[in-house]
């Protein structure tokens, strides 16, 4: 009888040992590896978007350098459009080092003494914007902001309430 109890105990301990070896730990490691891969892919995606924005900015700066006098005058005439609030038609010189889009938007609003609000999900990585205008209408800086941010950011101007909304686009920035 003792032999049977010892045999049964050994059999039970053997089953428990084998059950312990068949645990789900490798699945947990695979899950961790999968989440690390997803994080890496997210970081790469953010880097690619940043590089594309930088490339667009560099192309725009190159185009600005090649503008003829006639094209520069055309930009000034565009800024004199009736839809442009008078405050944004005033000429100014402004050199803004790279800042996040909403900071530049707020600076432009402050320049014309408008209130400003920042709305939408602020992206994990800033949308860098650089403004450099010399004796041009402030509206050209607004257009430049739009070119540099693309669909990721919008500067909405409400002249009757003297308000500027600096809006991050949800679909692009999430």
What single string gives the DSSP state of each residue in 52-105? HHHHHHHHHHHHHHT--HHHHHHHHHHHT-TTS-GGGGSEEEEEEEEEEHHHHH
* Secondary structure of residue 1 in the 3-state scheme: coil
8/10 Cα distance (integer angstroms)? 5
> 30-173 has which fold?
Phage tail protein beta-alpha-beta fold (3.55.50)
Which pTM value belongs to this model?
Answer: 0.56
Nearest to 168 by CA among 133, 110, 129, 111: 129
Domain ranges of the chain: 30-173
109/162 Cα distance (integer angstroms)? 9
pLDDT at 80 over 70: no
- For 26-59, the pLDDT digits (tens) are 555 656 667 788 888 777 777 787 787 777 777 7
């Amino acid at each position: 009888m003792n032999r049977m109890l010892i045999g049964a105990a050994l059999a039970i301990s053997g089953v428990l040992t084998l059950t312990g070896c068949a645990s789900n730990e490798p699945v947990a490691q695979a899950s961790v590896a999968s989440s690390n891969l997803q994080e890496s892919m997210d970081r790469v995606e953010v880097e690619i978007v940043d590089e594309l924005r930088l490339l667009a900015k560099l192309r725009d700066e190159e185009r600005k350098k090649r503008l003829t006098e006639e094209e520069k005058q055309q930009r000034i005439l565009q800024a004199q459009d009736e839809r442009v609030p008078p405050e944004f038609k005033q000429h100014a010189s402004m050199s803004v080092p790279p800042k996040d889009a909403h900071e530049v938007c707020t600076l432009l609003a402050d320049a014309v003494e408008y209130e400003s609000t920042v709305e939408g999900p602020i992206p994990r990585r800033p949308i860098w914007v650089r403004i450099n205008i010399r004796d041009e209408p402030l509206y050209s800086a607004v257009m430049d902001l739009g070119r540099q941010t693309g669909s990721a950011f919008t500067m909405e101007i409400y002249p009757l309430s003297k308000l500027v909304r600096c809006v991050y686009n949800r679909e692009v920035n999430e």
